[in-house]
A and B are shown apart, each in its own frame.
Chain A
């Protein structure tokens, strides 16, 4: 029936001590869908994952994973899901192979089946060479790949990945992207992924929810989200922060919003090309000159920044904000 699906209704989690990590989240993920939670630090991504993967009970609301209630049927859920948490769950004193075998045994496989499955997965994630080395001696990327393999041992129908590529170099990141894309496309595994990387959500997910401060701000395909903000971006780069700050002041009142990150400025406007002349005049009058200037349609980055910063100060959309990403 509901195999491979996730349904979440008005989910809330308040920790002892009063931190409201999740504040009324609702969404649905269909069978075989690739869904991403995109949000900054402390948005509530990991908390949501811990509730959906049976590690924590919600304070309020309902959630069903693979058709089972997270409150009352955690045992059934555990058989259906694979989970790679934000902190990898590996024992540094065991070898990669031993960890996979142990996991397979705990999911009920015989010793022989477990060994075969371990070898198969080690091959898949390209770890055969390091299979019999202790995990403590693995690099960060190898550890992540092993952690992913461990979560796949029992061929789950739903895979939860909490920031699976944070801290990895591009080579390892792309290796993991390929692996999970394959799982989704070839095996039809439903994937729920959280990330702080917009590029990651953009590349992988069919549907994205942007979450901030425990609430979903917006949900849609990456194309729809970009359309929703409906603004062009004029990007300017300056030689130094002083020039950039001067430019921010000079550009007040032009377009909808100016944001600065170091020496980099983004000006949002409904029709970027038309405003370009105004922009150049304004910064010229302030005697600062950009080293780079271009006009582009919004990236998912811009969507993210727009939505997360606006949710912080809903009325202040045309105020200059310093964004540190």
Chain B
């Protein structure tokens, strides 16, 4: 176990170093997410005067969208890092060491998760700068960070799974974009009650992203209430179980000796 943690740490550190060394792989996504935050806040904040918003600030309402889109856009990094290793032969070099096999794929996933935690932190900082006030206080801040981290791990797992199967960089990136619609098939811009189309309402109810939005909004706007928060973490737990199982199965295949 000790060796496993040590190996994971070594692989994680390398991946963090690589991310820091090529900021161009992270910055565009970060900037786009902040851009969304500014544009939605600037262009749509008027609708927060409608009664369905219950007097909430639109900034607090839209911030989770920025957080989640940054997470989805940034989660491809873990998979791409592995594809790079596969392509330049370093993956085989790692398999020739006594390193734990699981640590080899977990390292980039955790590095990817940390990247998303930092992204979320920066988005919140910009939010504070724009006047964000978290209703549930510091605990609320931790909930938003925790949800973003979980979401990040879930998507990093997915991107690693796709990368190890497809073994090419484009597929690894395209694989995560498939999930962009999830952001918009949800209570993205207006509360669930205000969604007009019946089909969209149904889709939004099934979409786990909705529960993440709701959980974050709960602590940002209304204050601490256990129900929606648990639902959000539940949705993320489910997502993680599915994607990490997928990653583990793909990894097993990639390190197999057949």
| Category for how many chain B residues contact A | 20 to 34
Contacts of A129 in B (CB 8 A): none
Are the CB atoms of A75 and B22 closer together than 8 Å? no
Taking the closest CB of chain A, its distance from the CB of B112, in whole angstroms, is 16
Taking the closest CB of chain B, its distance from the CB of A204, in whole angstroms, is 22
Taking the closest CB of chain A, its distance from the CB of B120, in whole angstroms, is 26
Taking the closest CB of chain B, its distance from the CB of A206, in whole angstroms, is 25
Using an 8 Å CB-CB cutoff, how does the interface string of B83-96 with A read, 1 for contact, 0 for none? 01100111111111
Are the CB atoms of B98 and A78 closer together than 8 Å? yes
Using an 8 Å CB-CB cutoff, how does the interface string of A59-103 with B read, 1 for contact, 0 for none? 000000000000000110011010101011111111000100011
A78-B98, A106-B97 are contacts. A55–B88 as well, Cβ < 8 Å?
no
Are the CB atoms of B18 and A93 closer together than 8 Å? yes
Cβ < 8 Å to B, chain A residues 192-224: none
Are the CB atoms of A54 and B98 closer together than 8 Å? no
Tell me whether A286 is interfacial, beta carbon within 8 Å.
no
Tell me whether B252 is interfacial, beta carbon within 8 Å.
no
Contacts of A54 in B (CB 8 A): 95-96, 257
Are the CB atoms of B257 and A55 closer together than 8 Å? yes
Are the CB atoms of A89 and B98 closer together than 8 Å? no
Are the CB atoms of B85 and A106 closer together than 8 Å? no
A78-B98, A93-B22, A107-B97 are contacts. A88–B89 as well, Cβ < 8 Å?
yes
Contacts of B96 in A (CB 8 A): 53-55, 78, 81, 83, 89
Interface size on A, residues (CB 8 A): 28
Taking the closest CB of chain B, its distance from the CB of A17, in whole angstroms, is 13
Tell me whether B193 is interfacial, beta carbon within 8 Å.
no
Rounded to whole angstroms, the CA-CA distance of A108 and B100 in the bound complex is 12
Partner of A107, one of B21, B89, B98: B98
Are the CB atoms of A85 and B92 closer together than 8 Å? yes
Tell me whether A267 is interfacial, beta carbon within 8 Å.
no
A57-B257, A107-B98 are contacts. A92–B14 as well, Cβ < 8 Å?
no
Contacts of A91 in B (CB 8 A): 14, 18, 84-85, 88, 90
Tell me whether B7 is interfacial, beta carbon within 8 Å.
yes
Partner of B10, one of A90, A92, A94, A102: A102
Contacts of A79 in B (CB 8 A): 98
Rounded to whole angstroms, the CA-CA distance of A83 and B99 in the bound complex is 15
Rounded to whole angstroms, the CA-CA distance of A1 and B237 in the bound complex is 51
Nearest chain-B residue to A59 (Cβ)?
B258
Tell me whether A319 is interfacial, beta carbon within 8 Å.
no
A56-B257, A91-B85, A93-B22 are contacts. A106–B98 as well, Cβ < 8 Å?
yes
Contacts of A53 in B (CB 8 A): 96
Nearest chain-B residue to A160 (Cβ)?
B96
Nearest chain-A residue to B13 (Cβ)?
A102
Cβ < 8 Å to B, chain A residues 280-306: none
A54-B96, A106-B97, A108-B98 are contacts. A90–B90 as well, Cβ < 8 Å?
yes
Rounded to whole angstroms, the CA-CA distance of A188 and B61 in the bound complex is 70
Taking the closest CB of chain A, its distance from the CB of B12, in whole angstroms, is 12
6 CB contacts below 8 A, A to B, read A56-B257, A75-B98, A89-B93, A105-B10, A106-B97, A108-B3
Footprint of A on B, CB under 8 Å? 3, 7, 10, 14, 17-18, 21-22, 84-85, 88-99, 257-258
Complex A-B, nearest 6 residue pairs according to Cβ-Cβ distance, in ascending order? A89-B93, A89-B89, A106-B97, A87-B89, A57-B257, A91-B90
Footprint of B on A, CB under 8 Å? 53-57, 74-75, 78-79, 81, 83, 85, 87-94, 98, 102-103, 105-108, 150
- Assuming A81-B96, A106-B99, what are 18 further A-B pairs, CB within 8 angstroms? A54-B96, A55-B96, A75-B98, A78-B98, A85-B89, A85-B92, A89-B91, A89-B92, A89-B96, A91-B18, A91-B85, A91-B88, A93-B22, A94-B17, A98-B17, A103-B93, A107-B97, A107-B98
